[in-house]
Amino acid sequence: MKAPESGPEFVPLKFVRRPPDVMLARARAFRDELALRRSVRHFSSEPLPDGILDLCIEAAASAPSGAHQQPWTFVVVRDPALKREVRVAAEAEEFKFYSERITEEWRGALSRLGTTWEKPFLEDAPALIVVFRHAHGVEGERKVTHYYTQESVGIACGFLLAALHHAGLATLTHTPSPMEFLARILGRPAHERAYLLIPVGYPSAGCEVPNLTRKALDEVRLER
Ligand SMILES: Cc1cc2nc3c(=O)[nH]c(=O)nc-3n(C[C@H](O)[C@H](O)[C@H](O)COP(=O)(O)O)c2cc1C
């Protein structure tokens, strides 16, 4: 006799229902906390508390993903020699970008940030987190299709940046493109594509950031 086909397993949802005033207070506090996040390009070399990055990476890896395929790897780089190698390769790409590939329009968009091809923060920050996107899965010799990997890894990176900020750390969302050099230096397999390079640490003493304003709610939100 054929065994009855088993369907997917379900478990009770863990959901915390809160009173509206508590919900509003939490939403406000979270908004205010995230509003303080800034991209930092000047880091001190102070070491990080033990275990802090793993906790934040666990938070990132709780993100939703297409078909729950979790198409990400987070590589933590603390070794000074490896950080140096990453910096040298990133600066080579960024030098080409700023001197050859950049368009006038792009230069204009970047002008208020004060960025250049030089990236000392890649050595100064005590850690780099390199996020890799799995273009597909691998099961033995078999290639497994993955769905919505860009969206999934983008969401996970949002969780990661928020978790690091919430923990009291500064980050930079860095994309020294093309980023193929990261898979080579960090020994990642061909199906893993570098997605973001995130220096993490404490801001240097007297650190300054560009004076930017964010769009107001009525510029970003519509109601229909
Ligand atoms: C996808 C993405 C790529 C970015 N790449 C770079 C980068 O390569 N170098 C850099 O200095 N900043 C980079 N940034 C940071 C942005 O310049 C920064 O988020 C923006 O200026 C707003 O500033 P804030 O993060 O302090 O709010 C990037 C941000 C995003 C979201």
Transcribe 171-201 into DSSP letters: E--B--SS-HHHHHHHT--TTEEEEEEEEEE
Residues with CB under 6 A from ligand 1: 38-39, 41, 113, 115, 172-176, 209, 212
Domain ranges of the chain: 48-220
Closest residue by CA, ligand 1 atom 30: 173
Looking at domain 48-220, its CATH superfamily turns out to be NADH Oxidase (3.40.109.10)
**173 alpha carbon – ligand 1 mean position (Å):** 5
CA of 66 to the centre of ligand 1 (A): 25
Which tokens is 51 given? Answer: 């275990």
| 72-100 exposure pattern, b = at least 16 Cβ within 10 A, e = fewer | bbbbebeeeeebebbbebbbebbeeebee
Contact yes or no for 169/201 (Cβ under 8 A)? yes
The answer to whether the CB of 108 falls within 8 A of the CB of 101 is: no
The helix/strand/coil state of 145 is strand
pLDDT tens for 169-201 read: 999 999 998 999 999 999 999 999 999 999 999
Distance (angstroms) between ligand 1 centre and the Cα of 63 equals 21
Give the pLDDT mean for 12-23: 98
Global confidence as pTM: 0.96
Question: Mind listing the pLDDT tens digit for each residue in 127-138?
Answer: 999 999 999 999
pLDDT of amino acid 4 = 63
Assign 46 a pLDDT band (cuts: 50, 70, 90). very high
Tokens for 190, please give them: 């061909």
